[in-house]
Each structure stands twice: as C-alpha cells, then as structure tokens.
Amino acid sequence: MLQLGEIDRADPRPPYRQIAAMLREAIESGGLEPGAKLPSEAALMEHFGVARMTARQAIQELRGEGLVIAEHGRGVFVRPMPPVRRLASDRFARAHRAAGKAAFLAEADKAGYQPGVDRIRVARAGAPKGIAERLRVEAETEVIVRERRYLANGRPVEIATSYLPVPVAGGTPVEDVDPGPGGIYARLEDAGHTLERFTEEVGARMPTPDERNALEIGPGVPVLTVVRTAFDTEGAAVEVCDTVKAAPAYLLEYDFPAR
C-alpha cells in the first residue's frame, strides 16, 4: 500500500498543496503506476486529518495538471499514457500517395496502430480570415471545407479541417466524402497541381469544450494545433489544413538544413 507523509504545519505551502505534492511525487516516482487508484477522498481526510474539501482540492490540483482522472463512483486514477504517434516530416512523401496511402494511413502502418476516420463532412463555405490569408484569397471567398476526425485504435486523436479554393478542387473527387486512394493530395496531383512544399505552424493551447468533447480528453490536457499550407509547383497555396491534436498522443518531428 502507498505510504504518504504528514502535513507540515511549518511548511509555508497550504495543506492542499502539500498533499498534492506528495501524491504527485508518488506518481512520478512510480509508487503509483499508470492506471493505479489513488486513495479515496475519505482515506485522504482520515490520513491527513483534513476536511473533505481540502482533500478534494489536492486532487483538483492534480486533475488540472492532467496527471490523474476522476471516475464518478469508482475513484481517481493515474492517467494511463496513451501511445505516442510520432509524425515525421516525410509523412507527406509522394511515395506514400503513389502507394495509395493517405498520410494518416501511412503512419498507422509504420507505427502499428489501427487507423480510423469518422465525422467526415464536406461542404462549401466562406473562408475565415486566417484561412483566406494563407490561401491568398479575399476573406469570405467560397471555399471547399473538409472536416474529419482521426482515430488511433478507436480512440480519437485529432480533428482536422481542410480548406481548398474552388478553382483548384471544385468538382473533383476532393468534394466527395471518400476522395479515393492516396487521399486528397493524390487527387490534387491528378488535377495537375503537383505539390512542391508545405509549411506548418505549430502551437499549443487548452482545448475548447467542443474540442475536449470531440477528442475525448479530460480537463487539464492541452492540444497541439498545426496549420499546414500546401503549395504547388507554381507557388500557389492549394490547401490549408487546420488540425487540433490531443497533445499527449503526439510528437512532431521536423528536419531542416543548417544552410
């Protein structure tokens, strides 16, 4: 059984933080393994001699850090680490598309997880400001909008929205729910837009409640945002893809020359 210390009234930190620190230490040192159950609120009250709200506040602290998850009626558990998907920057290599694989599927193959896509929605709508800038069109210009959610081993890991100019992809299979082998990049190249390069802008933030829902992540879990712009050999922006990824599930790899 887990051994915890006592509250030190001389310590300037308030009791709830001391309790949180002890539990955090237990988790990080391995005394509490991923998936293990923390002491119940009642047990913490009894052990430390504090009120319920104080014990809860300590737990709250750890939840905010994303270290633990509370399950109503069951207990509080150390968050199990999801398998990390490493995204190398060659994930859009033409060789993969030639083999009929979209980027997400190519990675799944390499990393050995079961890929999935759902909540696909294709429509036309006005381009939001940031997107329009990147596509170099006027704001609110009508563009093709492709939304979808990616799953790894059945767990949602990423939501993505692609925006494509109508002159580039209008009327092509890009506007179908299933764009066919190789994904939309393959269709763009079919349509004569040979892809030359990509830029990605990477940031991180806390998710909106909607995003938390779609990615099935608890409070205290940040998201990685990646906005990718694809350019063809003419230097024209042919797609902007706005993605939101569950941060614990991802590691992005980039490679660039020192020049």
Q: Catalog residues that contact DNA under the rule CB under 7 A.
A: 14-17, 38, 40-43, 49-54, 56-57, 59, 70-76
Q: Judged by CB under 8 A, does residue 98 bind its own copies? A: no
Q: Which does 75 bind (CB under 5 to 8 A by kind): its own copies, DNA, none?
A: DNA
Q: Which does 191 bind (CB under 5 to 8 A by kind): DNA, its own copies, none?
A: none
Q: Which residue type, as a one-letter code, is found at position 52?
A: R
Instruction: From 116, 18, 29, select the one nearest 62 (Cα to Cα).
Output: 18
Q: Contacting its own copies (CB under 8 A), which of 152, 215, 223, 240?
A: 223
Q: Which does 192 bind (CB under 5 to 8 A by kind): its own copies, DNA, none?
A: none
Query: Contact at 8 Å (CB) between 240 and 228?
Result: yes
Residue 53 to residue 226: CA distance in whole angstroms? 39
Q: How far is the CB of 259 from its own copies (least distance, A)?
A: 5
Query: Contact at 8 Å (CB) between 204 and 223?
Result: yes
Residue 150 to residue 158: CA distance in whole angstroms? 5
Q: Contacting its own copies (CB under 8 A), which of 31, 37, 65, 161?
A: 65
Binding to its own copies (CB under 8 A) within 149-178 occurs at none
Q: How far is the CB of 57 from DNA (least distance, A)?
A: 5
Q: Which does 74 bind (CB under 5 to 8 A by kind): DNA, its own copies, none?
A: DNA
Query: Contact at 8 Å (CB) between 165 and 238?
Result: yes
Query: Contact at 8 Å (CB) between 176 and 122?
Result: yes
Residue 112 CA, chain-centre distance (Å), reads 18
Tokens 């210009």 correspond to what residue?
141
Q: Judged by CB under 8 A, does residue 128 bind its own copies? A: no
Binding to its own copies (CB under 8 A) within 16-45 occurs at 21
Query: Contact at 8 Å (CB) between 200 and 183?
Result: no
Contacting positions for its own copies (CB under 8 A): 21, 53, 60, 64-66, 86, 89-90, 92-95, 195-206, 209, 219-224, 230, 247-248, 250-259
